[in-house]
Amino acid sequence: MNTLILTRDEIRQLIAMERVVTAVESAFAAHGRGQAQMPAKVYLSLPEYDGDFRAMPSQLGDAVGVKWVNSHPQNPARHGLPAVIGVYILSDPDTALPLAIMDATLLTAMRTGAAGAVASKYLAVEKPRTMGFIGCGVQARVLLEAHRVVYPEIAGDIELRMADIHDEAAAAFAREAGGSAVSLESAAACDIVCTSTPSQSPVVKQSWLSPGAHINAMGADGPGKQELDPDILLAGKLVIDDPAQAFHSGEVNIPLHKGILTEEGVYAMLGEIVAGKKAGRTGDEITIFDSTGLAIQDVAVAKAIYDQARERGVGQNIALVG
């Protein structure tokens, strides 16, 4: 049996964000029902290279695979390469043969954006009027793309506000998306707030938030990272993607280790809400989604990409194992 090789450009042609959002939402529901297998993410820390690698295996129905992905924040400046580069191996659960090897850089960005949009669907106010982005890199753009699937009215009825430590980054994103470059305080005062920074200290203050705001905290995906004032976590309805990952490397990791927050302060996993086991938004409370990125999101999207590639005859087949 041959192995299908899929490049980033081919993946971009194959998969639309609508399908990614559907796949990620289904993966969260399966996780909430306990119908997925996802061993803990393995970290290989490389401080001498200012980066790390993560291995992320998972199984969701007949989809089995593993992602090998890095986080090297200095890559763009030092080497002209993305900060995140990933490779996905999708395997046949029956024979263990590799069905596909594909670029996972775009896959990672798309499924992360989709996770934020799914969280907003269940946790944000029903008809958001404003959406703020704190951090205006690649991930912010994919978050916006995914939110356009959940909220088609973004094109005309939702005000977009962009803020970044680099003013030119916010201005460029605002021009692309039809929004406004604003201060951090203004971007945080929105109905939906998406943070996607590599910060190791809080960049969003509780006093900046509007009543009923929903925050997608996407940036803290490793130990020591933190984007939100811990008081936000204490005062709001706190939802995580997975306890093992969030407690180790999510937005909650520093407040937990300092004793500011307890595990009992977490309201639910997003999967429990998507599966209908727990309620999402119930009033004008502030809600927070702490996203670390789940392997089941990757395998769900990788399987969707593979199915599309087979159907459309895209990719290169090679006899990888003879």
pLDDT value at position 122? Answer: 98
**Furthest CA-CA distance within the chain:** 61
pLDDT, average across residues 251-263: 94
Look at residue 63 in the predicted model and tell me its pLDDT. 97
Identify the pLDDT of residue 224: 84
How many domains, in total, are found in the chain?
A: 2
pTM given for the model: 0.93
- pLDDT 10s digits, 221-231: 778 889 999 99
Question: Are residues 303 and 227 both part of a single domain?
Answer: no
**Using one digit for the tens of pLDDT, what is the confidence trace for 35-59?**
999 998 888 999 999 999 999 999 9
Same domain, 56 and 80: yes
Active site positions, annotated:
67
- Give pLDDT tens digits for 161-212: 999 999 999 999 999 999 999 999 999 999 999 999 988 899 999 999 999 9
The residue range of the domain holding 149 is: 125-293
Say yes or no: 201 and 147 in one domain.
yes
CATH number of the domain encompassing residue 240: 3.40.50.720
The whole-number pLDDT of residue 41 equals 85
Task: Provide the pLDDT for residue 284.
Answer: 92
The answer to whether residue 133 scores a pLDDT higher than 80 is yes
State mean pLDDT over 255-281.
96
Q: What is the pLDDT of residue 102?
A: 98
